[in-house]
Amino acid sequence: MTVLQIVKALAGEEDINFGDSDTTFSRQTRSGGTTSIHYIDSKSIPANTLGGVVDTHLHTQNTDTGTTEDTFEVNSDGFGVTLSSTGLSADRTYTFPNTWSSQPLVGYTDLIGTGSGATTGAKTVGVYDVAGNFTGGTVEAVLAELATDVAAYLLPYGYKRGFTLGYVSTSVISLTQGQWHHSGTTEQMVYSAGAFNYTLSSLSGTQLQYIYLDDSAIVSAGTAVITLTQITNSTTAPTFSNTKYGWYNGEDRCIGAVYVEGGLARKFRLFSDNYYGFYEAHILFTSANSPTSDTSLDFSAFVPAFSTGCRIAIQHATTGDQISFKPTTGWAAKTQVTVADAAEYQDARVDLDTDQTALWATDTDSQTIIGLHGYYTGDL
């Protein structure tokens, strides 16, 4: 059999003639018979799908609604993007935004970013502000507005609440929980997490030990929380600062004072009206000859720099005499005590000058004893 015969025999099973494939024509076979054969046109060109032709898929919308695959990749022959459902615990729906003509996708790294890029972090995330309290629309813009508002808000300068001193032993005091404004190296409110005890240092002789918020220790700690390590004591008296709104020694704010005698803190108690009371009275004056004209009486060994008022007890030998006290020369208002019983002590409140002295005088030159009960701490 020639090559031509073989080719003819094979082609005869489905001949090649162009025309309308919906119609057929007869073609002689190799054995001498005939067979019906379709004409060839676009409908009969095989498609990729088994048993189909191109015509059955031309211009037909794909109606697939999903895939059972966990991932789907766009641009699989280059740097592509893979959509992955791995790790989901339920179905999720992501709706495309119908806002800007071009909407970039922002990832987790972008949202937490702190860089200066225009589309990162707080510059990207919007703010839900139905009341219209802010003009900005992003977190960064709103934070900037808040920072401006906070900077314009003055701290409660001079504020104090707590840190009340209490006696524990001859070298230890207690401090209640408190919060104070501290204008030191850092302008801030400082506070304690609870009450604590503080051991006084460098006690000797007779002295006033002033208790301070220790600025250097606060700076070193790097926190506004006060513990006993941020407290210090010193014999250096504070002065009032009009710019800091309180009594300060440098950057240290004074919160009280303790009287020391013989190197031991003397027992005390703080009462209402900021009254610091000694457990035992301290003798200021005792003599058989009291002054009959204004004479200075010095309270500064017992009364701290921030106090201008105290309570005393007086015993005077001449019944009916008047004893007067006033803060300074020319002061018209006086504290006057009339002696009712020469054998008894009588109490009185005395106003002091800023150096903790007062002028006093008696009607007659007589035996007099004056003891100090305590002082008023004033506004620290």
Give me the CATH number covering residue 294: 2.60.120
Position 208 in a domain: yes
Residues 128 and 224 placed together within one structural domain of the fold:
no
Residues 185 and 241 placed together within one structural domain of the fold:
yes
Position 81 in a domain: no
C-alpha to C-alpha distance for 184 and 224, rounded to whole angstroms: 12
Confidence (pLDDT) at 22? 62
**Which of 266, 292, 327 corresponds to the end of one domain?**
266
Position 64 in a domain: no
Q: Which domain holds residue 127?
A: 122-153
Residues 183 and 149 placed together within one structural domain of the fold:
no
C-alpha to C-alpha distance for 200 and 195, rounded to whole angstroms: 16
Residues 309 and 363 placed together within one structural domain of the fold:
yes
Confidence (pLDDT) at 17? 54
Position 307 in a domain: yes
C-alpha to C-alpha distance for 265 and 279, rounded to whole angstroms: 11
**H-type helices in 12-166, by residue range?**
108-111, 139-152
Sole residue written with tokens 């506070």: 191
Confidence (pLDDT) at 13? 45
CB count in 10 Å sphere of residue 55: 15
144: region left, alpha or beta (phi > 0 left; psi from -120 to 50 alpha): alpha
Residues 291 and 327 placed together within one structural domain of the fold:
yes
Residues 193 and 258 placed together within one structural domain of the fold:
yes
323: tokens are: 């004893």
**DSSP structure class, residue 311:** E
Residues 287 and 252 placed together within one structural domain of the fold:
no
Position 90 in a domain: no
**DSSP structure class, residue 18:** B
Confidence (pLDDT) at 260? 97
| Exposed / middle / buried, residue 303 (Cβ in 10 Å: 0-12, 13-18, 19+) | buried
Q: What does the CA dihedral 125, 129, 132, 134 come to, rounded to 10 degrees?
A: -40
Residues 243 and 341 placed together within one structural domain of the fold:
no
169: tokens are: 């032993």
Are 355 and 327 contacting, i.e. CB atoms less than 8 angstroms apart?
no
Residues 283 and 202 placed together within one structural domain of the fold:
no
**Which of 203, 233, 266 corresponds to the end of one domain?**
266
CB count in 10 Å sphere of residue 175: 22
Per-residue pLDDT of the chain (380 residues; tens, 9 = 90+): 455 454 555 444 445 555 555 667 677 776 777 777 766 555 555 555 555 555 554 555 667 788 888 998 999 888 989 999 999 999 999 888 787 777 777 777 777 777 666 567 777 778 888 888 889 888 888 889 888 887 777 778 899 999 999 999 999 999 999 999 999 999 999 999 999 999 999 999 999 999 999 999 999 999 999 999 999 999 999 999 999 999 999 999 999 999 999 999 999 999 998 999 999 999 999 999 999 999 999 999 999 999 999 999 999 999 999 999 999 999 999 999 999 999 999 999 999 999 999 999 999 999 999 999 999 998 89
Residues 294 and 351 placed together within one structural domain of the fold:
yes
**Which of 13, 31, 49 corresponds to the end of one domain?**
49
C-alpha to C-alpha distance for 211 and 193, rounded to whole angstroms: 19
Position 286 in a domain: yes
Residues 178 and 252 placed together within one structural domain of the fold:
yes
Count of domains in the chain? 4
Residue 194's SS3 state is coil
Confidence (pLDDT) at 44? 53
Position 28 in a domain: yes
Residues 314 and 365 placed together within one structural domain of the fold:
yes
Confidence (pLDDT) at 76? 86
